[in-house]
Structure 1
Amino acid sequence: MSDASTPGGGPGRDESPQERADRQWDEMLQEVRVAQTGAQILFGFLLSVAFTPRFATLGDFDRNLYTATVILGACATASLIAPVAFHRLLAGHDLKPVLIRTGSRLLGLGLTLLALTIGCALLLLLRTATGNAVLAAVVSAAGLAYFALTWLVLPSLLLRHEERRAGGRRAGR
C-alpha cells in the first residue's frame, strides 16, 4: 500500500497505483453506463424518425439537419461504447492506466457529440413543431449553452473554488 500522500493514492486515500487504476476504471464504467444509455435511447428514436409519414414532408434543410443529427448520434454512441470495447480487447495486458486516459478522452468526446446531437435534435424538433426557424435556433442555442454551463463551466468553477479553499487551508497552517 502507498502512503496517502503519494501520487498513487491521492489525498485521503491509501491505495496502490493498481488499486487506484481499478477504482478509476470502475468509476469510468459507471459514467459510461449513464451516458451510453441516454445516447442509445436517443439514437434509437432518431433512427425511427425517417420511417414516419411526416419525414417525407421535410424540406432539404431539415432532412440535412436530420442526417447530421443521426451521424452525430452514431458517433456519440460509438465514442461512449468504445472504452468497453477497448477494455474487452486489451484486458490482461497491464494497460489499465492507458485505458483510463484513452477512455476518459473518448468519454469527453462522446459527451460533446451527445450534447451536439441533442442540440441538433432539438433544433429539428422545434423547427418542425413550431414552424419558426428563429425561435428554434434560439432555444436550441440556449439548450447547448446550458449543456456547456452545467457540464463544463460549473465543474470548472467548483474545482477552482475547492483548489483555492485547499490552498488557503495549507497557507493557514
Structure 2
Amino acid sequence: MTDRRDSALPDSDEGRDETVEERADRRWIEVLQELRVLQTGTQILTGFLLALAFQPVFADLGAGQRGMYLVLVSLAALSAVIALAPVALHRIVFRRRVKPEVVYFGHVALIAALAAVSLLLAGVVAFVFDVIIGDGAAWVAGIALGAVILVLWVIVPTAIRRWGRNTQ
C-alpha cells in the first residue's frame, strides 16, 4: 500500500524487491548519510562565523557588515536546527512504528536545510568579498555562487530526474 509520503519521495523504487519496512530503513540510512555530508560543511562554516566575532578586526566592520554577519550566524544556526530535526524526531518516536513518516519528514527537512545552506554559502562568500574588496564585488560573488548552486543543486538534478523518467 503506497501513501502520499511514500510516493512523494524523489526516487522510484520500482524494480526493488523490498518490503515497506526495508524501504523505510534504506531511505532512513540514505537520509542519515546526506545529513552527515551537510552537517560537516555547515559545522565548519558555523565555526568560521562564530570565531570571526572574537577577532580584533571585527571592530572595523561597518554597521551593514555587522548586520550581514548576524544574518549569516542566524542562517547557520537555522540550517543546523533544520538538518538535525529528523534525528530529534527519530529519537522521540523511536519504536513507534512510524519510520515512513520519519523518512518523509527527513526528506523535507533536508531539502529545507539545503535551501538554508545555499543562502548561507552565497552569503558568506558575499560577506568575505564585501570585507576584502567592497559592495560591488560582494553582489557579483554572491549572485554568481547563487547561480552555480541553482544550476548544480536544482536545474541539473531536475533535468536528470526528468530524463530518467523518459528512459523508463
TM-score (norm 1): 0.88
| Cα offset, 1:12, TM superposition | 2.1
Larger radius of gyration: 1
Q: What whole-Å deviation, never above 9, does each CA across 1:79-120 have from its counterpart, x for those lacking one? A: 111111111111100111110111111111111111111111
Given candidates 145, 149, 156, the residue that maps to 2:151 is 149
Instruction: Determine whether 1:47 maps to 2:47.
Output: no
> Of 111, 122, 126, which aligns to 2:125?
122
Measured after TM superposition, the shift of residue 40 of structure 1 is: 1.1
1:107 to 105, 110, 117: 110
Instruction: Report how many residues are paired.
Output: 158
Identical-residue share of aligned pairs (%): 36
The match for 1:36 among 35, 39, 63 is 39
SS of the equivalent of 1:151 reads helix
> Distance between the aligned counterparts of 2:95 and 2:129, measured in 1?
48
Tell me which amino acid in the other structure corresponds to 1:145. A
CA distance in 1, matches of 2:28, 2:82: 16
- Give the letter aligned to residue 164 of structure 2: E
In the alignment, structure 2 segments of 5+ residues that lack a partner are: 1-6
Quote the Cα distance in structure 1 between the aligned partners of 2:164 and 2:121. Answer: 31
Equivalent residue letter for 1:93: R
From 79, 83, 92, give the equivalent of 1:80.
Answer: 83
How far did 1:136 drift? 1.4
Q: Which runs of 5+ in 1 are unaligned?
A: 1-6, 167-173
User: 1:171 maps to which residue?
Assistant: none
Alpha-carbon separation, structure 1, partners of 2:167 and 2:112 = 30
In the TM superposition, what is the alpha-carbon distance from 1:54 to its structure 2 partner? Answer: 1.0
What secondary structure sits across from 2:167 in the alignment? helix
Separation in structure 1 between the aligned mates of residue 152 and residue 28 of structure 2, nearest angstrom? 24
**Aligned-pair CA distance for 1:10:** 2.6
Distance 1:41 1:90 in 2: 30
Instruction: Report the AA paired with residue 111 of structure 1.
Output: L
Does 1:98 pair with 2:104? no
**Distance in structure 1 (CA, Å) of the matches to 2:58 and 2:117:** 22
Amino acid across the alignment from 2:153: W
Alignment deviations for residues 119-164 of structure 1 (CA, whole Å, 9 cap, x no partner) = 111111001111x211211111110111111111100000111111
For the residue of structure 2 that corresponds to 1:111, the secondary structure is helix
Distance 2:97 2:66 in 1: 46
Does 2:26 align with 1:23? yes
User: What is the TM-score when the length of structure 2 is the normalising length?
Assistant: 0.90
